Amino acid sequence: MSLLFNSKVIYGGIFLATLSGCSPDKTNEQTTTATPPVAQSTAINYQLATAEITNANDFALQQEAIYFPFYDLGITAEAVKNLNVLADGVAQASQSVDSDGDGTLDGLLLAADFNPAEIKSFTISSDPTIAKPALKKQTQAEISVKEGGEWKGKEYVGGTFKNVQSVTPPPQYTDHSFWIRYEGPGIESDKVAYRVYLDWRNGFDIFGKKTKDMVLQNVGLDGYDSYHLNSDWGVDVLKVGKSLGMGGFGFWNGKSVDLVSLVDTRDAIITNNGDIYSGFKINYNGWQINNQKVDLAAHFTMNAGSRLVNVQLKASQQLPNLAIGLVKHQGTTLLEGNQNVSGYAWTYVASWGKQSLSGEDDHLGMAVIFRRDDRAEQTTDENSYVSVMKDKGGELEYYFLAAWEHELDGIKTEADFKAYLDREVERLTKTPRVRFESTLSANAKKNPLDADTALAWAKKLADSELERKTLNYHYQGWDEYRKRPGKFEYDVVGMQIAALQELNAVSPNPAYTKALETVTGSYIRDDGHIHTFEPDLFSIDLTKPGQMVILLEQQTGAEKYRKAVDFLRENLKRHPRTSGGAFWHRATYPNQLWLDGVYMGIPFLAQYASIYETGEQQHASFKEAVHEFVIAREQLRDPETGLYYHAWDESKQAPWAHNEHGRASQFWSRGIGWYAMALVDVLDFIPESETELRKTLIDNTQELAADILRYQDEATGTWWQIMNKPGAIANYRESTASAMFTYFYTKAVNKGYLPEPYREVAMKSYQGMINEFVTVHADGKISMNDQCLVAGLGFGRDGSYDYYMTERIVSNDAKGNTPFILAGVEMYKLLKQ
């Protein structure tokens, strides 16, 4: 059975169909405990993986680049000689690449065409008898320096040009030294070519092309002047001056951009030079900026058939006010992409006008493309249109592109340029949906499901994540996906740590117990203050880690933990509510009840009451907890389908809210998953003496179990991102919700809330979760894939079907890891009986 992975990471300018969630350590891989047993075979099997790839857009894709990491294929860079991607047994255009520019090949790139919404199947093979197809070279990266001459001051005299793999200019090198051909490294596709000045200007320039052939190897051989004259191949079409040029970067000082000028040294390295993918890297060593010295690495890559250059920036330390942008020529029009989109969605800033140097009074369009949430400010200085970017740990990914009207398929009007940009950002945001299964993973899944197997899968993901990043989420640590210092968050500080404690109860491991203190405990000061917690934000999400603080208090008896949990409880008492008593999701989401919040706040409320309250006070808290489920059912359940809408705005004022009933429009599967998990978890704390309250929750449990079962994917036993629209364009089988429902069914059967026939439902759901979403790696780790990283409403998130298709899809996030581990623990209990 193939597994779906849609971990959307654009890395090196390609769609990275990554399964691991974070890059493996290439130099010091540590083997964890044994994976679930892998079947052995003496026969040679050259099939490494299968992939079913779907175009998630309603328009065609040409030469769409899809990347398969060697780590997920279960192979090393040393074993890549005979790799091919086959479709119907025919070898396709592919290339082994170094996507991160570290000097080691790390994955296989496929370039494939798709009709709108088309599904295609591929096989990845290492069969040495299959020849790679003959490809025309459509990309190139190069740098060329003179040899055989001599330096005379700052000018190199004599000699001939020779292409090299890397170069570090000597101290005397500067602009117009006549040593580097066209003054820096160059990169091109069959559409357009670019160069970067490898000197104090750090200018980004454009070579407009009139041919699809590669041209850079012949540019500048006779000096600097010739490529400024129109020729058969094209011409230098941009005057850069002291600006950011074509998508360059620098530092915003509050008034203007400081270019990357003052550096100790610059290194230029060709990282890839293949038929369908090429790139180079520039290391800016010792950049003197903002009263500090920073090392900055920039990796530039291009794909065949594309105008876009992907740029990956990585600084040696945090760098606020990093700026990207475009030269600001007189008479140009500034264009901006849609800003009413999710933070992860791509958008752009562009210029259009008669700004070409070709001498033909022609049009040139330029753009920088970035994720909406990455930009802090749009501004200008004397020379450039400037996008000031947020600091996210010193890393930034963006694209730049140019479209010259004299290309063979040139864009000639502003309207056509804007339409092209709108389509490009939609393509980048809604990347292909890929169902992938490596042979290594398929073999590991052949063992029949029993208690020990279920427990092994749970431990394997828990142990893998402990090695990868779980322990990094402590106070003043680093949040991998949010790209910010650690905060008292519901998922990484609350949920995942809770899953480790549940796992520890059936399979003790000191590492699981230590994580509780290392991560959650680190946020609690000696006086009970909770670091990073904002009480007046009234975010119900931030109540979730309180359950782990309760556990710390119960285990240690430390006064600081009791003070912290009491504070959280008091904050709930003053939390704003709807007229019916439901907790607002957050102060910035007034009058709104979200399904998410039922899980985030109500288990803590019930657990606190069960431990620290007595008598009428306790009963009132239990009643308050159950009431949240009742009002959520009243306001969010659709009687026709039995499914729950994601959220409800009592005021009906939110942009996503229906103007008559205030509900959001979609049945988001994880939203329903939050509600389902909350039901079975809160029942843990409501005592048997509270007969009516328990009956309300058990009735809801039984009703929901029947309703969501009707929407289970029959073929795989999983659930789709938007539950009632299986197979709709861009929809996909989503792993976090599938794991949540698996946990819900299994625990409800274990607790007796659901009758025995649901045992088979639970087992089918569990097996589907493993088959569809797990990848086994050769180093013993596993990954859980196809996780919707986040989805919400408001602030650019309009709650439409299309919105839920644009949120980032990742691997190994706590919102999926947690129910995966909990489902494994419950399945272990079920099958151990």
Q: Which of 434, 394, 369 is nearest to 733 (CA)?
A: 434
Strand partners, 297: 283, 314
Ordered alpha helix ranges (H), 120-247: none
The active-site residue out of 596, 649, 681, 813 is 596
Residues ≥6 apart with Cβ < 8 Å to 377: 252, 387, 388
Amino acid at position 223, single letter = G
Strand partners, 377: 388
Q: Which two tokens stand for residue 401?
A: 């592109």
Q: Is 46 exposed, middle or buried (0-12, 13-18, 19+ CB in 10 A)?
A: middle
Residues ≥6 apart with Cβ < 8 Å to 714: none
Q: Give the DSSP H/E element, type plus range, for residue 236.
A: strand 234-236
**CA count, 13 A, side-chain hemisphere, 144:** 22
CA distance 292 to 407: 43
Q: Which of 94, 97, 85, 95 is nearest to 121 (CA)?
A: 85
Residues ≥6 apart with Cβ < 8 Å to 708: 642, 643, 672, 676, 719, 723, 741
Residues ≥6 apart with Cβ < 8 Å to 435: 2, 3, 4, 5, 51, 52, 53, 772
Q: Which of 684, 657, 658 is nearest to 602 (CA)?
A: 684
Backbone φ and ψ for 246, nearest 5 degrees, come out as -95, 80
Residues ≥6 apart with Cβ < 8 Å to 260: 202, 249, 250, 284, 287, 289, 296
DSSP string over 779-794: TS-EEE--EE----SB
Residues ≥6 apart with Cβ < 8 Å to 342: 372, 796, 797, 803, 806, 807
First to last CA, the chain: 29
Strand partners, 593: 648
CB atoms within 10 A of CB 284: 23
CA distance 44 to 21: 30
CA distance 691 to 697: 10
Backbone φ and ψ for 363, nearest 5 degrees, come out as -90, 145
CA distance 309 to 278: 10
Active site residue 596: yes
DSSP string over 666-715: --BHHHHHHHHHHHHHHTTTS-TT-HHHHHHHHHHHHHHHHHHHTTS-TT
Amino acid at position 74, single letter = G
CA distance 589 to 604: 21
Spatial contact of 516 and 548, defined as CB atoms under 8 Å apart: yes
Q: Which two tokens stand for residue 482?
A: 């949010």
Catalytic site positions: 596
